Structure 1
Amino acid sequence: MPVVTIPGSKSITARALFLAAAADGVTTLVRPLRSDDTEGFAEGLVRLGHRVGRTPDVWQVDGRPQGPAVSEADVYCRDGATTARFLPTLAAAGRGTYRFDASPQMRRRPLLPLTRALRDLGVDLRHEEAEGHHPLTVRAAGVEGGEVTLDAGQSSQYLTALLLLGPLTRKGLRIHVTDLVSAPYVDITIAMMRAFGAEVGREGNVFVVPPGGYRATTYAIEPDASTASYFFAAAAVTPGAEVTVPGLGRGALQGDLGFVEVLRRMGAEVSVGADATTVRGTGELRGLTVAMRDISDTMPTLAAIAPFASGPVRIEDVANTRVKECDRLEACAENLRRLGGGVDTGPDWIEIRPGTPMGAEIRTYGDHRIVMSFAVTGLRTPGISFDDPACVRKTFPGFHEAFAELRSVLGDDR
């Protein structure tokens, strides 16, 4: 029975870095994810004047509740959406002039709902080129706080950024949310804020965050549930195979662990224990219709194994996947067609018909999740390759080695 060690959660590592930088004291992060995204976030903190000490398994961050230690900085956010959305918000709580830019891929991704909300709170924030996109400059003088309205229908990261800012404001925040996608990620944010000594209240669609700052702490990062989905899916498509991921169990923060319930509905055997989850392939993979709004990062994983189901797989309520690293709905559809599959798409859905995929080169669009998802397809389809296999460095630099090891074990088990 393969036991797969998954790297730390990208989402949790990014939030922990923000919280550590804003906390009063020195925070120790245990088993953080080391990838291009998180290294970019840490380097951004360094540019803002924070000390970030990094060893392979432990990072330490000197917090500054009053904001960045420098009055001017130029921060490059690479491809990281959390870096590009959270760091300008953190900088706004300080005093100084801070410029943020990002890769061409990240420049295409939207920011406007967040930057509009920050402006409504009095932050002097200017987009240098396209409105609602990087690059941008924040001329910070602290944030008074108060009431603000936010549309988080494109990304829950907009709400997370404001929630994280709340304790650093002078009066706290009352955030009216008109739409929200990927709600479990907000639950992660709130749980982590509480672990760092802050409080968050909720009254329906209104989130209330009092002032008061954060306390430094020691915080362990759990494995990345989105990354685990590829290994769980590998078990589901391989009759008799079994994969266990330790560190993800009933107490896990991440909603993406809910992907195993989709696999259960399709016919896999699933066991979620106190501190580990196991998926076993039964030789049966049924079609289904499933709404994945709350676990949309695992949509490509399901799309990539859908041709092996006995009936159509229809994935609904995933419009937000069109504004990720690429348009993931169309990227999945295009690549499934390259493999000879039957696919239809709509504004917020994709439907995949059963078939026998043929080998082809996968067009990745530089998106790590496209590569890792279609690597699972490759378990049953010889001849799959990728035009940019190295883009997995964004979240899992060692993915190909880890997946090759799993493939060899599953091959021995069949």
Structure 2
Amino acid sequence: MNTEAEKLTMVPPGHPLEGRVSPPGSKSITNRALLLAGLAKGTSRLTGALKSDDTRYMADALRAMGVRIDEPDDTSFIVTGTGRLSAPERPLFLGNAGTATRFLTAAAALVDGTVVVDGDSHMRKRPIAPLVEALSALGVTVEAETGCPPVTIAGRGGFPGERVTIDAGLSSQYVSALLMAAAGGDRPVEIGLAGEEIGARGYIDLTLAAMRTFGAEVTEPGPSLWRVQPTGYRAADFLVEPDASAATYLWAAEVLTGGRIDLGVAADAFSQPDARAQRIIAAFPHMPALIDGSQMQDAVPTLAVLAAFNETPVRFTGIENLRVKECDRIRALSIGLSNIRPGLGIEEGDDLLVASDPALAGQTLPAEIDTFADHRIAMSFALAGLKIHGITILDPGCVAKTYPRYWRALASLGVTFEGVAP
């Protein structure tokens, strides 16, 4: 599939989508495992891993910090570390990879030397101040002038402090970053939340599970409080589960077309928070009138586009954090939906109201969807193109961030595209 084309126009298949599609490995888990294996002493084998823009940025950054990473096949990394990271010769460029940027900002405190963590123009608009403030409270010399990358960290081999409270209202990744780095220090570190608000708490559980696989000792002495021992990490073999966020597009394509798509993994086998979206997708076309997206944030674009064809309108709440993702996803969804039909997507504060209409299916409603270089906007609006004629996705290649073979996956199910040869 020529995903370097500037646009891709969907052709509604007009038949149920049936077949077998294996989702790629989880981005969230792959980047956690890469970092932990890079911090470990010895050789780790990561299988089932995702190879995409985001994970390549993480792997290349670790290589720049002295970690050997081999890639024997399309889904494996062999990672050999010394137990320490070295200061890179130049700034770490991480594109718009949020996990890599946040995780490496904290891990840089373990380096003896200065590390600059930077990204592209989109990443330079994504907030990192809460993590910078927490690192500063732990005695790390760190600076981010704009509250967003670039971040300069003067590492001293660990955290001088032993206790910190962090505001994780914008992202649980701040907590995950501190947790993973803390085990590499020279003293126990206690990490607590400021308040009860946290973006997608389930991702903390993913972090803790991965840390323990690589030998970390973490206890939870109280609600929203973690104590990490300075164990360091030991090499391990690690199987990455398929990506639940990617699975949501396939689950939605299945119900939209009345098809049957075998993902090779049951919905209840996922440990990732976005898998809970499957229950809502299965209820289509009778999705609930109110959906709280706070704990399955990356699934919200899928659910919002699916909701356009629901029997009744759907309001999405708890999604304010979507404004600081790869783009302002609330805005991107409302613009894209309303390009299909005026008023189909409405922003009300930080809520998104989708004025559902099953009669949209089968209509010709030419609309160019601005993806804002956001992979999830591109992949979710492709779902609209399964039922509506004239849906054109701009910058389709942006899906390479997490699902490089997405368009080929749809093509394997019988979906075709105008002007782009498979």
Fold match, TM over 0.5? yes
* Residues 84-163 of structure 1 aligned to structure 2 (within 5 Å): 84-127=101-144, 129-130=145-146, 132-142=147-157, 143-163=159-179
Contact 2:176 2:204 in 1 (8 A): yes
Once structures 1 and 2 are overlaid, which stretch shifts more, 199-208 or 378-387? 199-208
Residue 388 of structure 1 pairs with residue 395 of structure 2: yes
Take 2:54 and 2:107, find their aligned partners in 1: how far apart are those partners?
17
Cα 1:9–1:286 change in 2 (3 A) is closer
Q: Percent identity?
A: 37
> What is the DSSP-based 3-state SS (H/G/I as helix, E as strand, rest coil) of the residue aligned with 2:366?
coil
Instruction: Give the equivalent residue in structure 1 for 2:355.
Output: 353
Structure 2 counterpart of 1:81: 98
Structure 1 residue 404, shift from structure 2 partner: 2.1
Q: Which runs of 5+ in 2 are unaligned?
A: 1-17, 417-422
Give the drift of 1:92.
Answer: 0.9
Q: Is the CA contact (8 Å cut-off) linking 1:17 and 1:61 kept in structure 2?
A: yes
Separation (CA, whole Å) in 2 of partners of 1:17 and 1:30 = 11
- Segments ≥4 residues shifted beyond 6 Å: none
The aligned length equals 388
2:237 aligns with one of 215, 218, 224: 218
1:296 aligns with 2:297: yes
Superposition pairs of residues 5-404 of structure 1, within 5 angstroms: 5-55=22-72, 56-65=74-83, 67-70=84-87, 72-127=89-144, 129-130=145-146, 132-142=147-157, 143-178=159-194, 179-202=197-220, 203-239=222-258, 241-264=259-282, 266-267=283-284, 284-340=285-341, 341-355=343-357, 356=360, 358-404=365-411
TM-score normalised over the length of structure 1? 0.90
CA RMSD for the aligned pairs? 1.6
Q: Look up the equivalent residue of 1:32 and give its one-letter code.
A: A
CA distance in 1 between partners of 2:289 and 2:356 (Å): 11
Output the TM-score relative to the length of structure 2.
Answer: 0.88
Which ranges in structure 1 are unaligned for 5 or more consecutive residues? Answer: 268-283, 410-414
Q: Deviations over 1:290-321 (max 9, x none)?
A: 11100011101011111111100111111100
Secondary structure of the corresponding residue to residue 354 of structure 1: coil
CA contact (8 A) 1:236 1:285 kept: no
Does the 8 Å CA contact 1:201/1:209 hold for their aligned counterparts? yes
3-state DSSP of counterpart to 1:2: strand
SS of the aligned residue for 2:347 comes to strand
Change (3 A) 1:17 1:383: same
Q: How many angstroms apart in 1 are the aligned matches of 2:266 and 2:184?
A: 31
Secondary structure in 2 matching 1:311? coil
**Worse overlay, 244-253 or 12-21:** 244-253
Contact map agreement 2:87 2:114 (CA 8 A) in 1? no
The structure, 1 or 2, with the larger RCO (C-alpha pairs under 8 Å, 6+ apart) is 2
Paired letter, 1:157: Q
